[in-house]
Amino acid sequence: MTKNSSNILLVDDESAFCELCALWLRQAGFHVATAGDSQQAYALFMEQQKGAGFDLIIHDLALPPTFKPEDGLLQLQKYPNVPVIVLTGHDDQALALRAMELGAWDFIAKPVDPEFLKVIVERAVEKSRLLNQVKTLETQLLARQDSQDNLGLIGSSPSIVAQRELITRIAPTQVAVFIQGPSGTGKEIIATALHQLSDRATKPFVSVHCGAIPADLLESELFGYKKGAFTGADSDRKGLLAMAHTGSLFLDEIGEMPLAMQVKLLRVLQEGSYYPVGSRELETIDIRLISATNRDLPEAVKQGEFRDDLYYRIKGLTLSTTALKDRAEDLPMLLHFFLKKYNEQHQLTLTMEPNVTNWFCQMQWPGNVRELKNTLESAAAISLGQKITLQEIKLIRNEVTVGEVAQLNDTNKEEGLGKSLEQQVSELEKKLIRQAMQLNDNNKTHSAQALGITRQGLTNKINRYELEF
């Protein structure tokens, strides 16, 4: 924010004075918008918020319809995080102090000297610029410290603490790192942390999922190719190896790499060079290799499904990730972290009912952290209120839990007495369908989306339960 790019909102009901002040400020190089009353001023402020926003507001206190300075003071609270200079024809020290208490940056009494106004405005704009810069730096510093503190690995269990310590120690080295562990346990997060804490942090980080690329395309994707190398190669294309030059290459699920490709990768790692497909010009690369798999590679080597020489080349330092069932004490922290991130992303303030937290902590998570995160976010997405309840869990899991039945019985104990589990589940489904239809004005498509089922599935349930809408 420099002086010549600063946007100022000038609010004064005296049109001649307003135009004169705006002229002075424009001559000083500022962009100025004017308003004759507080309502018009706030509308301009909100409209400008969609773009660059205002950097400074100069606000008269005696404005229509009341023209009372006391009412003008209340307007100052409408402009959070934007400096306000108060203009008034009432040279009242008590009024000035009150304005400063409410957050005004400065106080100028009419008549206004143009040079004095210019100095005050320049000082306010510069001070605002410096404060915004400090806030930005503080935010970046806190984010960096938080990132370095947990490295993206949330938890306080001994295995996670030891893992973070090991990552911090080996990241600055150039040795290859092999990450082994179950799916959904954060192998890519570890790879990213290793890169960010290394001396290659400002260089590329290229992630390749070896199992997601068809075997016949993997070579050209990694090595790149020259024009005319094969049918469809209409131009030269840089490969992922070249893109990772001077940085880090992460080969995810390397255990899925075809044997023929393993031979070619081994040569690249041994010699630091390769030929793009269709080229006779040798390319050299400098990369830090990080690889990962959920397979038991030593067993794959015994079975002849993975080359032993490549295995010994990539294993370097080995990091093992821990299944979520073996660090159950981290579950509450993970839930809090994911819900906080979801709220920030969608500008919400969702919370979880205690019995939902208990359900998450008692469940087994074969998909580990990835499954936990997806389940929580799905429940949050279909939540109809400010709290995630067991009703949302039922809808996304399509299963009955002990907690749900207990909740249903607590809600309506008399009706629940003597009823089978199937009857209670049916009543719960009918209750949820009625609630969804009511909230969506009986629109089946929207209700089905809220319930996490298809429209036809909702129609079938409505017909089965003979519900009328």
> Do residues 248 and 287 touch, judged by C-beta distance below 8 A?
yes
Which residue bears the tokens 């922290």?
333
Q: Answer whether residue 402 shows pLDDT above 60.
A: no
Q: What percent of the chain has pLDDT over 70?
A: 88
Domain boundaries, the chain: 3-136, 158-322, 328-464
Q: Answer whether residue 450 shows pLDDT above 80.
A: no
Give the H/E segment covering residue 320.
Answer: strand 317-320
Half-sphere exposure in the Cβ direction for 363 (13 Å, CA) = 25
Q: Answer whether residue 439 shows pLDDT above 80.
A: no
Task: Give the mean model confidence (pLDDT) for residues 363-392.
Answer: 89
Q: Answer whether residue 417 shows pLDDT above 70.
A: no
Euclidean distance between CA atoms 342 and 372, whole angstroms: 13
Local structure of residue 316 (DSSP, 8 states): B
Over residues 16-56, the pLDDT tens digits come to: 888 999 999 999 889 999 999 988 999 999 888 877 788 89
pLDDT-based confidence at residue 145 (cuts at 50, 70, 90) = very low
> Do residues 27 and 3 touch, judged by C-beta distance below 8 A?
no
pLDDT value of residue 458: 83
pLDDT value of residue 459: 84
On average, the pLDDT of the chain sits at 84
pLDDT value of residue 267: 93
pLDDT value of residue 149: 57
> Do residues 64 and 37 touch, judged by C-beta distance below 8 A?
yes
pLDDT value of residue 3: 45
pLDDT value of residue 462: 87
pLDDT value of residue 405: 41
Q: Answer whether residue 413 shows pLDDT above 50.
A: no
Euclidean distance between CA atoms 256 and 291, whole angstroms: 12
Euclidean distance between CA atoms 411 and 430, whole angstroms: 15
Q: Answer whether residue 88 shows pLDDT above 80.
A: no
Task: Give the mean model confidence (pLDDT) for residues 179-184.
Answer: 94
Q: Which two tokens stand for residue 93?
A: 């020290």
Q: What is the DSSP string of 257-310?
A: S-HHHHHHHHHHHHHSEE--BT--S-EE---EEEEEESS-HHHHHHTTSS-HHH
The one-letter amino acid code at 56 reads L
pLDDT-based confidence at residue 370 (cuts at 50, 70, 90) = very high
pLDDT value of residue 421: 54
Task: Give the mean model confidence (pLDDT) for residues 382-389.
Answer: 86
> Do residues 57 and 75 touch, judged by C-beta distance below 8 A?
no
Give the closest residue to 254 by CA, choosing from 292, 219, 304, 222: 292
Pairing of strands 84-88, 106-109: parallel
Task: Give the mean model confidence (pLDDT) for residues 154-167.
Answer: 91
Q: What is the DSSP string of 7-28?
A: EEEEE-S-HHHHHHHHHHHHHT
> Do residues 276 and 225 touch, judged by C-beta distance below 8 A?
yes
Q: What distance lies between CA 25 and its chain's CA centroid?
A: 40
* 158-322: in CATH 3.40.50.300: yes
Q: Answer whether residue 140 shows pLDDT above 50.
A: yes
Domain 3-136 and domain 328-464, same fold? Reply is no
Instruction: Select the more confidently predicted residue: 140 or 70.
Output: 70
Q: What distance lies between CA 82 and its chain's CA centroid?
A: 26
Give the closest residue to 87 by CA, choosing from 5, 30, 18: 18
pTM of the predicted model, to two decimals?
Answer: 0.56
Local structure of residue 419 (DSSP, 8 states): -
Task: Give the mean model confidence (pLDDT) for residues 331-345.
Answer: 91
> Do residues 306 and 318 touch, judged by C-beta distance below 8 A?
no
Over residues 273-312, the pLDDT tens digits come to: 999 999 999 999 999 999 999 999 999 999 999 999 999 9
Euclidean distance between CA atoms 419 and 428, whole angstroms: 12
CATH architecture of the domain with residue range 328-464: Orthogonal Bundle (1.10)
Q: Answer whether residue 160 shows pLDDT above 60.
A: yes
Task: Give the mean model confidence (pLDDT) for residues 257-261.
Answer: 93
Mark residue 350 as left, alpha or beta (left: phi above 0; alpha: psi -120 to 50; beta: remaining).
beta
pLDDT value of residue 138: 58
Which stretch of 86-90, 157-161, 176-180, 271-275 has the lowest confidence by average pLDDT?
86-90
Over residues 211-240, the pLDDT tens digits come to: 888 888 899 999 999 988 888 888 888 999
Is 35 strand, coil or helix?
strand
* 3-136: in CATH 3.40.50.2300: yes
pLDDT-based confidence at residue 314 (cuts at 50, 70, 90) = very high
Q: Answer whether residue 147 shows pLDDT above 80.
A: no
